[in-house]
Amino acid sequence: MSATSFVIFGATGDLAQRKLLPALYHLRGKGRLPPNMRIVGFSRTPHTDASYRDAMFDAVRATAGLQVTRAQWAAFARNLYYVPGDLDSFDRMLDLKARLELLEGKRRPADRLFYLSIAPGLYETAIASLGATGLAVEDTGWRRIVVEKPFGRDLETALRLNQVVSTVFHEKQVFRIDHYLGKETVQNLLVFRFANAIFEPLWNRNYVNNVQITVAETVTAGDRGAFYDQTGVVRDMVQNHLLQILALVAMEPPSTADAESLRNKKIDVLRAIRHWKPGQARQHAVLGQYNGYRREKGVAPDSATPTSVALRLYIDTWRWHGVPFYLRTGKALAQKLSEVVVQFTCPPHRMFSPESDECLGSNVLSLCLQPNEGAHLRFETKVPDQGMTTQPVDMEFHYQSAFKDRAIPEAYERLLQDALAGDASLFIRSDQIEESWRIVEPLLAPPGGPHGIPVRPYDQRSWGPDAAESLLEQDQRSWLLTCGKQG
């Protein structure tokens, strides 16, 4: 009989409370965790198993809004354990090891997943300790490590972290998480493209005029100011989420849906993104900072940290040559939504308005990632009446109506289950991490330096600095959003 240990480093932290424990609770309820799986928390806070269980009962209800009774929690928390300690304490890590061995008993295989739900500054310490104590040795079962973002804070630190990881773990044991990839609608990008015959023939420079990816938040840095001011929007959103979405939209069709096929095609896209020469990035990128950001708690009063960004990227492949990919994301923006917009070319010939030179309503396909999960296809239709006046209208699909009886599961449920199953399809391989940092590195140049990009102020609840609009206007285009109109 087998045993599995799910070890959470940073077991009392925000992520554990808000995401990990609720996801594990739901997976247990659905019977989707391995048999004999224990969750073992490790953190500095002093706790016994009992006090940790109680503390987490309160926490998941308060922080995550989990609907759970005391009895239900008790049934779940029977498998919840706690070991107090510091990651850099060899003895405490040996405590953890002993506890795991005790829980595993004679069951074999005895598999262990280590989840780094800790500050990025502690990653190297944790990995070193796992190596030093032998916790990572695959003697009695598999050992896997899940690493939260940010994975490094630039190319150099990412290379170094990958190096450290690789001294203790093989790449196939490493699960770099990007929770965006666990979202249903993000996974559906692949299904949409490759389980249908009609989109792929259009999905190239012959028919696509441009692609736009918007991931917009309305929240400000708020009480995460101290963290955010060290991070900024490029590290927080672009290097990971936006480039991953871009890769899914732009990749060539893989031959199978397995992890290596998918990740090979994704790295191909990232590698093909045109490099900016020094000083060139400012022609293709607009950084912004919302007004009032410098007064947020924990933010430097003269902070130059960007809170919004708009980018123009090119993918130098046969498929995408000359097709701009516009990306934008930020905090304190006008609307909370994530949307991929594929704007198609104009009809080559305008038989209904031959006198007009204007491109009347090119087709637009919008993949609505959130909150109105679904898809819109904008097309021209005849306005009911005499003549042949046309007007753009949308065909729409909404998850809500198609899957009424089926809640969209949380991204973390999917990802934790995949990690436990050893499926790395939705996790980031080391080469992707490094290539993504290579892409965004020019955006990280000091704003005052020779190759820096100015950080422009913008009003809260706007779509960022005016220059973000100009970026597209230069190309006779404009930002499009069609998902928000409904619901």
Residues annotated as catalytic are 241
Report the nearest approach of a second copy to the CB of residue 198 (Å).
Answer: 5
- In the structure encoding, which two tokens stand for residue 146, read together? 């899940």
Among 5, 43, 162, 188, binds a second copy (CB under 8 A): 188
Is residue 240 a contact partner of residue 217, using CB atoms and an 8 Å limit? no
* Contact flag: residue 402 with a second copy (CB under 8 A): yes
* Contact flag: residue 354 with a second copy (CB under 8 A): yes
Taking every pair of Cα atoms in the chain, the longest distance, rounded to a whole number of angstroms, is: 84
By CB under 8 A, which span of 66-74, 352-360, 451-459, 463-471 interacts with a second copy?
352-360
DSSP assigned state of 254: P
By CB under 8 A, which span of 64-72, 188-196, 285-293, 323-331 interacts with a second copy?
188-196
Q: Positive or negative, the Cα torsion across 156, 279, 328, 193?
A: negative
**Residue 127: which of 154, 92, 167, 98 has the closest Cα?**
167
Helix axes 155-168, 430-440, angle to 10 degrees: 170
* Contact flag: residue 381 with a second copy (CB under 8 A): yes
* Contact flag: residue 255 with a second copy (CB under 8 A): yes
Report the nearest approach of a second copy to the CB of residue 199 (Å).
Answer: 8
* Contact flag: residue 197 with a second copy (CB under 8 A): yes
Task: List % helix, strand, coil for the chain (3-state, nearest 5).
Answer: 40, 20, 40
Report the nearest approach of a second copy to the CB of residue 384 (Å).
Answer: 5
Q: Which residues pair with 290 in a beta bridge?
A: 458
Query: What is the rounded distance in angstroms from the CA atom of residue 370 to the CA atom of residue 309?
Result: 19
* Contact flag: residue 268 with a second copy (CB under 8 A): no
Q: Which is nearer to a second copy, 71 or 198 (CB)?
A: 198
Helix (H, G, I), strand (E, B) or coil at 476: coil
DSSP assigned state of 206: T
From the CB of residue 453, how many other CB atoms can be counted at a distance below 10 Å? 23
* Contact flag: residue 346 with a second copy (CB under 8 A): yes
Cα 74 to its chain centre, rounded Å, is 32
* Contact flag: residue 383 with a second copy (CB under 8 A): yes
Q: 3-class secondary structure for 40-71?
A: EEEECCCCCHHHHHHHHHHHHHHCCCCCCCHH
Site string for a second copy, 295-334 (x = CB under 8 A): ----------------------------------------
Q: Which is nearer to a second copy, 311 or 420 (CB)?
A: 420
* Contact flag: residue 375 with a second copy (CB under 8 A): yes
Report the nearest approach of a second copy to the CB of residue 115 (Å).
Answer: 19
By CB under 8 A, which span of 48-56, 155-163, 194-202, 290-298 interacts with a second copy?
194-202
* Contact flag: residue 352 with a second copy (CB under 8 A): yes
From the CB of residue 404, how many other CB atoms can be counted at a distance below 10 Å? 8
Q: Which is nearer to a second copy, 329 or 366 (CB)?
A: 366
For 431, the enclosing helix (H) or strand (E) is: helix 430-440
* Contact flag: residue 131 with a second copy (CB under 8 A): no
The three-point CA angle 294-300-304 to 5° equals 70
**Interaction site with a second copy (CB under 8 A):** 32, 184, 187-188, 190-192, 194-202, 206-207, 253-257, 344-352, 354, 360-363, 375-377, 379-386, 388, 390, 393-397, 399, 402-403, 406-409, 414, 417-418
